[in-house]
Amino acid sequence: MEPVLTALDLVVDFGTVRAVAGFDLSVAAGASVALVGRNGAGKSTTMRVLAGVLPATAGTVVVAGCDAAHDPAGVRAAVGYCPDVGGLIPRATPWEHLQLAAKLRGMRGWEDRARDLLERFDLAAASDRITAGFSHGMGRRLSVVLATFHSPRLLLLDEPFDGVDPLGVDATLEVVREVRETGTAVLVSTHLLHLAVEVCEEAVVLRGGRVVGAAPAAELTGEAGRARYRALIT
Amino acid sequence: MTTGAGVQLRALFHLRWQMVRSDGVRASLILIALGIGWLMLIVAQGAGALDPVRAATAVELAPEAFLGFGILALIAPLTAGGGNEIVPPDQLVAFPIRPRTQFLGGLVLAPLNLVWVLQILALIAVTVLLTAGGSAALGALTTATYVTALTALGQAVAWGVVGLRESHRGRQVVASGGALLLLGLVVVVKAGLGGALLDHAPTGPVVAGVVAGAGGDWLRWGLTTGVLLTSTVALLHLGERACGWALRRPGDVGALRSSRSVRRRPARRSELRTLIALDRASVWRAPALRRGALVLAVLPGLAAGGAQVPWESLVVLPGLVAAGAGLLFGVNAFCLDASGAVFVASLPHDPRLVARAKALVLTETVLIAAVIAAVAGSLRSPGRPTTAVLVAIAVSALTCTAVVVARGMASSVRRPHKAELKGPRDAVAPPGALALASVHLAVPAGLVGLLLGGTAQSRIWWLPVAVAAPILLWCWLSLVRSFRTWADPVARSRIVSTVSAG
């Protein structure tokens, strides 16, 4: 079966700084992969490129058959992306974010799905509140709602658990499980190894902008798993 | 343990200067400062060479000139929600910044305002004329003390208002006070008492003090300057206290407003309309932008109406108002999305739609402000205008808006800044960048206004249209260039990264 995501020899330069240095990854439909690594390993930059937000300096990204270099809109249509920080228009409400996403994605009859997601992420009461006043956790939860709202082919979650309370974490884990069942490929970037293990079956370790190791996520648990992880990231 | 305000102020200015990464911007800022100094010299020398009739008129109007500066010094910090900030407060939460530092920072940054500079130039000219034949230095000292005192007073009042507005009752008091003041002004203007009021301007003794300094009347000069100096010290102290009080107020109405619920509106029919609706909301829900837009729409028109500006002079007004309106958010339009720019960029759409929506919202904001000012200003203009003048005013509003939108969008794609615009004092760019931007907008818009003002004298109604046509074409081409830059994925990702920086 053709993978939903294929990244080949991805390179991203910011001036003289090489943020991503030859990243390769392939994720099949329904699979879930954790991107783990230290701060500055290139996880968020990679996620931005895969989301079609940042153009790669070199390399290839193909999502659901669309090449990011030639059909970025096609990539964005297939992707649901929760960025690492913020990601919300400060003076718009959650409902207005959903309205915009629905309009630009050409979705019809989206309201019930939107209400359901807001309910599950405990945001229903705040759906008409300006997001500038949201707590960090509320903002994270809304970003996950926006990423999963259109049942994407590829779900990219960058630090989705950062500052989120246990109920929010549970809601995210549940949504990830659901979308995987419908064939969505999931890529989660996180510092929280135990949650990465819980949500993903594979883990890819990044260091210095390149993949330095990959293993079944379960193998990174326990004392031996953590020691292996530490050895990879240092 | 905290350091003194002077040390903190120096550290903050040093940090702000270091944060200017572009050598070009640094050079421009230095050039502007030198240019203003040079202008002051030119004005000082030129005023002395003024013909006797004009010089006499200027001397006669000196109290009004001093009063005009005083009014500006009071209004400017009010419109800025307490004054400009060297570094946004959310970036300084981890540092023990004193209220005194914050207050003095606003005071030092007060000159970063084109209207303030223009008023200072006017005061320099008036001071030179008032002290002709005597000691200009003593008169200049009195004027400088007056300028410092009034600037400190403006900042102190503004911080007081900021503090009051932290509670619901305080907001009501401020709103009622503002309405009463406005009503009073309208009554004075309608009753034709403006002239009489100006004749009794409280700045008369200040002018007398300036003249006394030149004429060797040491007692009068010393008394006036001494009172001004004492007032300055007292106002600095008062302002610092007001600033500290405002920042300590627990009411936090601002925070409540930033997390309030708003009425849900039905989905728009097209992608562009949806984006426009969001951008409009981003403008009107930002306290600083809302206040700025209202002030720009009301004050210039009121001032022009009060002064009974001739029809021909009204042609210049839209340019000045448009430049001010452009500074609200036009020079950094993509900051409206702030960190949400990443969310928007991750949605499938033609990127040019986003730029088009921002340009359209900017156009309507600038045009409405310019039209309101022109209409309000014209209500009390004497006589009947010629067709050429009416056409020139309309064309001026349109063309100056186009110039501001074109330059604003060009600046938005070239020099984006992160700006969350959450608080009442938040600006779309750092103080220095805003000072540069004000020159970039005000100079061409002002020149276009003057050019069209010249055509209005001709009585040929189509001449303003003919003159404006190539300018509008240039604006269109500039806008197309900006849209093309935004459509480029590399340039767009740079802008998105900047405005959404965490």
A48 CB neighbours in chain B (<8 A) are: 342, 493
Nearest to B442, CA basis, from B411, B485, B473: B411
Which of A90, A97, A130 is the closest to B260 by Cβ?
A130
The string of pLDDT tens digits covering residues B259-300 is 788 999 988 989 999 999 999 999 999 988 888 888 877 778
Identify the H or E element spanning B63. Answer: helix B62-79
In this structure, which amino acid lies at residue A66?
C
> Which residues in chain B have their CB less than 8 angstroms from residue A102's CB?
267
Quote the minimal CA–CA distance from A105 to chain B in Å. Answer: 6
Determine contact, residues B66/B207, Cβ cutoff 8 Å. Answer: yes
Residue-level pLDDT at B251: 58
Q: What is the pLDDT of residues B388-408, one digit of tens each?
A: 999 999 999 999 999 999 999
- A219/A203 Cα distance (integer angstroms): 9
Indicate yes or no: CB of A92 within 8 angstroms of CB of B282. yes
d(CA A211, CA A232): 10
Q: Are B98 and B2 in contact (CB under 8 A)?
A: yes
- Give the nearest chain A residue to B270 (CA atoms): A103
Alpha-carbon dihedral of residues B29, B30, B34, B39, nearest 10 degrees? -10
Of the partner residues B259, B270, B281, the one whose CB lies closest to the CB of residue A133? B259
> Nearest-CA distance from A86 to chain B in Å?
5
From first to last of its 502 residues, chain B has per-residue pLDDT tens of: 557 888 999 999 898 888 877 788 888 888 888 988 998 888 888 877 777 777 788 778 888 889 989 988 888 888 777 677 888 777 777 888 888 898 899 888 888 888 888 889 999 999 988 888 777 889 999 999 999 999 999 999 999 998 888 888 888 998 899 889 888 888 887 777 777 777 777 888 999 999 998 888 889 999 999 999 999 999 999 999 999 898 887 655 555 566 788 999 988 989 999 999 999 999 999 988 888 888 877 778 777 777 778 888 889 999 989 998 999 999 999 999 999 999 999 999 999 999 999 999 999 999 999 998 888 888 878 888 889 999 999 999 999 999 999 999 999 999 999 988 887 778 898 888 888 898 899 999 999 999 999 998 888 889 999 999 999 999 999 999 999 999 999 999 999 999 998 6
Mutate: best of B258, B342, B352, partner A, most A CBs <10 A: B342
SS3 of residue A7 by DSSP: strand
| Tens-place pLDDT, residues B55-68 | 788 778 888 889 98
Closest Cα in chain B, distance from residue A221 (Å): 31
Residue A100 is predicted with a pLDDT of 96
Residue B8 parent element (H or E): helix B5-19
Determine, for residues A104 and B255 on separate chains, whether the beta-carbon distance falls below 8 Å: no
Longest Cα–Cα distance in chain B: 75
User: Which residues fall within 8 angstroms of residue B160, CB to CB, at 6 or more apart?
Assistant: B242, B245, B246
DSSP B426-454: --SS-HHHHHHHHHHHHHHHHHHHHHHHH
> Do B378 and B314 touch, CB atoms closer than 8 A?
yes
In Å, what is the CA distance from B210 to each residue of B62, B71, B107, B117, B228? 10, 19, 24, 20, 12
Interface check A76 vs B, CB under 8 A: yes
**Secondary structure class of A176 (helix, strand, coil):** helix
Check CB contact of A73 with chain B, cutoff 8 Å. Answer: yes
Q: How many CB atoms lie within 10 A of CB B195?
A: 9
Q: Which residues of A touch B499 (CB under 8 A)?
A: none
Return the SS3 of A83: coil
Which chain B residue has the Cα nearest residue A85? B502
- Vertex B421, ends B419 and B422: CA angle to 5°? 130
**In chain A, what residues touch B500 (CB-CB under 8 Å)?**
86-87
Q: What's the predicted TM-score (pTM) here?
A: 0.87
Query: Which token pair is A59?
Result: 């390399």
- In degrees and rounded to multiples of 5, residue A26 shows phi and psi of -135, 130
ipTM score assigned to the predicted complex: 0.94
CB-based contact, A79 to chain B, within 8 Å: yes
Determine, for residues B262 and A130 on separate chains, whether the beta-carbon distance falls below 8 Å. yes
Which among B255, B262, B493 is the nearest to A54, CB-wise? B493
What is the rounded distance in angstroms from the CA atom of residue B444 to the CA atom of residue B76? 22
Question: Do the chains contact at A77 and B348, CB–CB below 8 Å?
Answer: yes
Q: Is A57 on the interface with B (CB under 8 A)?
A: no
